[in-house]
Amino acid sequence: MTKNKFYITTPIYYVNDTPHIGHAYTTILADVLARFHRAMGDDVFFLTGLDEHGQKVQQAAEKRGLTAQAHCDDLAPRFSGLWERLGISNDDFIRTTQPRHVKVVQAILEAVYAKGDIYQKEYEGLYSVAEERFITEKEAESGQFREVKKIQEKNWFFKMSAYQDRLVRYIEENPGFIRPEHRKNEMLGFLRQPLGDLCISRPKSRLNWGIEIPFDRDYVTYVWFDALINYITAPGYLSDEAKFRRWWPVSVHLIGKDILTTHCVYWTTMLFALDLPLPATIFAHGWWLTGESKMSKSAGNVVDPLDIASQYGVDALRYYLMAEMVLGADSNFTPENFIKRYNSDLANDFGNLLNRVSGLIGKYFDGIVPAPLEPSADDQLIMAQGRALGGLVSGLLKEYKVDAAINAIMNLVRAVNKYMEVQAPWKLAKTDLPAAGRVLYTATEALRLAAALLGAVIPEKSAEALDVLGARGTGFEWGGLRSGTRLAVHPPLFPRIEIVPVNVVPKA
Ligand code: MSP
């Protein structure tokens, strides 16, 4: 039987600064989906990387007194190193300065030019230096674009307008293509205006940090035309036909809502010009905010993911980002929220349950998992919830509802905590030891299942919990816990964070 394929990408990040929580979010989200698909037996290709050309990078390098390439080479390990630290399981890491990519971009430019879809004209327009693109009058009036100036020059253009009707039809005929739904409507709204052609060159007199246009050496390629192509370079376009056929079209491009138009309009029309199929899905998530504003380097309000990870652990960070943000909406990052969720979900609900069951099995069953026996009506309720959970989580993740999937898993954990309170196996043990064993088996099995299903989100802690239960690799079905297994001794999975109260006036 051939496995299902799942090809997932993150945006390739600009190497103009060190990554922050916003970048970490998209990458962790992609990692969670990649890990889950692998666990379900799918064949996964997970791509991330760096966008190294263009004005922003050139300016950042100049500021540091470095050549652009030296600047990129210096910063690239900060990204790959962070991804390693955060447990990111990407299969490839592309940098747009790599020869494999430069070659493909130039070959594509040649091909689209030969086809007649690239032409030269004199152009005068408004250009946003911050966004690195020409903008319309209307966009300029919106006040959302910074560093806008008028530019007049001869440039090369891609005939994007020729594909407008086809794109609109495609979006309308493929309901799952742009997600969530309101982003699809936003794009259809945008496409109601006539679409201009895309300026895809920059004269070297203005910018030389880019891929040279092969048929006109006075120009380099516009950074977005170059960057989007990374998604096909990595799976082997024009270099490894079999590999490319295996992976393209991509299952999902995960992006932030800030780069919706470049992906849904520029990229798709480029793919039309290349006669390549479009992505199955483009999914845009919301922003992490600090207070009211988007977390970004230019706003000077970034949170460093490494700080959080070194203080509270990688999995605590991964869990928080995934559980807190309702996919598609914006979220506020505050240390208070982080600590609150950590203590309630990870320390109290999940971590404590492991302590409790392993403590009780230690005390009453010499640390050996007891037999399940005949389930009571209450056991059966937990079992039914547990049996339905794998399918529920898988369905939610296929809809990219990671926060809801986590909540469904935590609902089982919470139900088991309640069940423990009601059943009180510590009391039962004194009158009916086998019944106490039955309760503890049910609770521990539910915990095993929750730990296994959380594996994609908190890989290290999930493995630690499963090791305590002697249940690594036992899958998502009810009944994976084996009676007779000796539980391992372990420190608390998620020690409570004690909040130091501020502004407390000491008593005299
Ligand atoms: N280089 C382009 C993307 C090219 S893809 C072919 C780019 N890079 S970026 O470094 O600015 O990163 C943009 C992406 O980082 C966003 O789309 C989003 O995925 C993530 N985020 C950056 N800041 C963010 C927040 N404050 N909140 C959530 N994610 C955001 O654009």
* Beta-carbon count within 10 A of 351 CB: 20
Q: Which of 227, 225, 208 is nearest to 217 (CA)?
A: 208
* Beta-carbon count within 10 A of 292 CB: 7
Helix (H) or strand (E) holding 434: helix 433-453
| Residue having the nearest C-alpha atom to atom 9 of ligand 1 | 13
Question: Which mutation among 15, 21, 25 tests ligand 1's pocket best, with the greatest number of atoms within 8 A of CB?
Answer: 25
| Residue having the nearest C-alpha atom to atom 5 of ligand 1 | 11
How far is the centre of ligand 1, averaged over its atoms, from the C-alpha of 456 (Å)?
Answer: 22
pLDDT tens digit string along 496-505? Answer: 998 765 554 4
| Residue having the nearest C-alpha atom to atom 30 of ligand 1 | 22
Residue extents of the structural domains in the chain: 334-508
How far is the centre of ligand 1, averaged over its atoms, from the C-alpha of 20 (Å)?
Answer: 10
pLDDT of residue 493: 96
- Residue 212: strand, helix, or coil: strand
- What's this model's pTM, rounded to 2 decimal places? 0.94
pLDDT tens digit string along 245-286? Answer: 999 999 999 999 999 999 999 999 999 999 999 999 999 999
pLDDT of residue 508: 44
How far is the centre of ligand 1, averaged over its atoms, from the C-alpha of 14 (Å)?
Answer: 8
pLDDT of residue 1: 54
Asked if 189 contacts 136 with a C-beta cutoff of 8 angstroms, the reply is: no
| Residue having the nearest C-alpha atom to atom 29 of ligand 1 | 22
pLDDT tens digit string along 354-386? Answer: 999 999 999 999 999 999 989 999 999 999 999
How far is the centre of ligand 1, averaged over its atoms, from the C-alpha of 469 (Å)?
Answer: 40
How far is the centre of ligand 1, averaged over its atoms, from the C-alpha of 256 (Å)?
Answer: 6
Nearest ligand 1 atom, CA 51: 1
Chain centroid to CA 486: how far?
Answer: 37
Angstrom CA distances, 347 to 326, 341, 498, stand at 22, 9, 11
Q: Which residue ranges of the chain lie beneath pLDDT 70?
A: 1-2, 500-508
- Rounded Cα distance, 58 and 71, in Å: 9
Look up the CATH architecture of domain 334-508. Answer: Orthogonal Bundle (1.10)
| Residue having the nearest C-alpha atom to atom 7 of ligand 1 | 13
pLDDT of residue 507: 44
pLDDT of residue 143: 85
Show the ligand 1 pocket: residues with CB < 6 angstroms.
11-14, 22-23, 25-26, 51, 227-228, 230, 255-256, 258-259, 287-288, 294-296
| Residue having the nearest C-alpha atom to atom 20 of ligand 1 | 23
| Residue having the nearest C-alpha atom to atom 19 of ligand 1 | 256
Angstrom CA distances, 287 to 328, 334, 447, 456, stand at 9, 14, 33, 22
